[in-house]
Amino acid sequence: KNEVEQSPQNLTAQEGEFITINCSYSVGISALHWLQQHPGGGIVSLFMLSSGKKKHGRLIATINIQEKHSSLHITASHPRDSAVYICAVRLNNNDMRFGAGTRLTVKP
Amino acid sequence: KAGVTQTPRYLIKTRGQQVTLSCSPISGHRSVSWYQQTPGQGLQFLFEYFSETQRNKGNFPGRFSGRQFSNSRSEMNVSTLELGDSALYLCASSFEDRDEQYFGPGTRLTVT
């Protein structure tokens, strides 16, 4: 079993919809990252979380340390949000582990 | 501030050859991490350097090595290339080793 599980694998939404991507992990971590990867490969770090909730524009990320679960929410989705979203965890020994990614397509 | 740069962006090599990839971090960043991304395995951690010292290494064979220079620039080397080494190699820099990371555009390596 992968140490970091993401769901769903693929997600198609209509413009304006509220989107949730989930990440569960089974190891002890010092931080969790949400990454966005556009076609062509470039990766942007969206959030780094160790507790609670963070918001940046239309994006919200939450983490529940006790339940080992994090969610990434996108409000009022837009076609430019179409990308692969990757959950990554930094282990206590500083290693990084990655989820398989969620491919999001937002249709106009 | 200039972002993370990686050179070269694309590379084609033959099995058995070796390759060196370069990463220049954001000015002032002291930590550089390297990752491999393939369609089958996804993103995997290769190694992390901080102030010229390797802090951590992922589960890769000894053919994969790296180093960091005093100006924080980093190189990774893969010797005796195999077809399975074809991948996108990404580096990321951060100010400290547990800070938010900024990714470079990657080097796409194709081994034939």
Determine contact: B85 vs chain A, CB below 8 A.
no
Q: How does pLDDT run across B24-82, given as a tens digit for each residue?
A: 999 999 999 999 999 989 999 999 999 999 998 999 999 999 999 999 999 999 999 99
Q: Using a CB-CB distance cutoff of 8 angstroms, which residues of chain A are in contact with residue B43?
A: 86, 88, 98
The pLDDT-based confidence of B2 (bands split at 50, 70, 90) is confident
CB atoms within 10 A of CB B5: 15
Per the CB < 8 Å rule, is B43 touching A98?
A: yes
Do A90 and B106 count as a contact with CB atoms less than 8 A apart?
A: no
Q: What is the pLDDT at residue B28?
A: 93
Specify the pLDDT at position A73. 98
B66-102 pLDDT, tens digit per residue, is 999 999 999 999 999 999 999 999 999 999 877 889 9
Q: Report the candidate in B62, B60, B79, B70 with the shortest Cα–Cα distance to residue B21.
A: B79
| pLDDT exceeds cutoff 80 at B107 | yes
Q: What are the residues whose beta carbons fall under 8 Å from the beta carbon of A64, sequence distance 6 or more?
A: A70
For an interface test with B, give the residue of A43, A46, A89, A90 to mutate (most B CBs within 10 A): A43
- For residue A82, what pLDDT is reported? 96
